[in-house]
Amino acid sequence: MNKITSVLWGLVLVAIGMILGLNALGITDINLFFDGWWTLFIIIPCFIGLFQRTGKWPSFIGLCVGIFLLLGAQGLVSFELILKMIVPVVLVAIGLGIVFNGIFTGTIQKKIKSVEKNGLETYAATFSEQKVNKANEEFQGANLDAVFGSIVLDLKNAVIKEDKVIYASSIFAGITILAPSNVNIKVKSTSIFGGVDNKIQNQKGENIPTIYISAFCLFGGVNIK
Q: What is the CA radius of gyration of the chain?
A: 21
Sign of the C-alpha dihedral, residues 62, 214, 126, 54?
negative
Nearest-10 Cα torsion for 56, 170, 149, 117: -140
204 phi and psi, to 5 degrees? -100, 140
Distance CA 66, CA 73 (A): 10
Which tens digits make up the pLDDT trace of 61-99? 788 888 888 988 888 888 888 778 877 877 777 676 666
pLDDT of residue 98: 62
Domain definitions of the chain by residue range: 33-104, 106-224
For residue 11, what are the contacts with CB-CB under 8 A and spacing of at least 6? none
Strands of the sheet containing 129-133, edge to edge, are 129-133, 150-154, 174-178, 221-224, 195-198
Global confidence as pTM: 0.58
Which tens digits make up the pLDDT trace of 155-208? 999 999 888 889 898 888 999 999 998 899 988 887 777 788 888 888 887 788
Q: Is the pLDDT of residue 50 over 80?
A: no
pLDDT of residue 193: 72
pLDDT of residue 11: 86
Q: Is the pLDDT of residue 53 over 60?
A: no
Beta strand 164-171 with 121-126: parallel, antiparallel or unpaired?
Answer: unpaired
Distance CA 32, CA 54 (A): 31
Mean pLDDT of 8-24: 87
Task: Say if residues 186 and 108 touch (Cβ distance below 8 Å).
Answer: yes
Q: Which of 68, 50, 66 is nearest to 58 (CA)?
A: 50
Q: What angle do CA 35, 38, 40 make, to 5 degrees?
A: 105
Q: Is the pLDDT of residue 20 over 80?
A: yes
Task: Say if residues 119 and 140 touch (Cβ distance below 8 Å).
Answer: yes
Tell me the range of 10-14, 44-48, 144-148, 187-191 where mean pLDDT is highest: 144-148
| Coil, strand or helix at 164 | strand
pLDDT of residue 219: 81
Mean pLDDT of 14-35: 88
Nearest-10 Cα torsion for 154, 160, 165, 170: 0
Which tens digits make up the pLDDT trace of 92-142? 776 766 665 555 455 566 666 656 555 788 899 988 999 999 999 989 888
| Coil, strand or helix at 219 | coil
Distance CA 6, CA 104 (A): 27
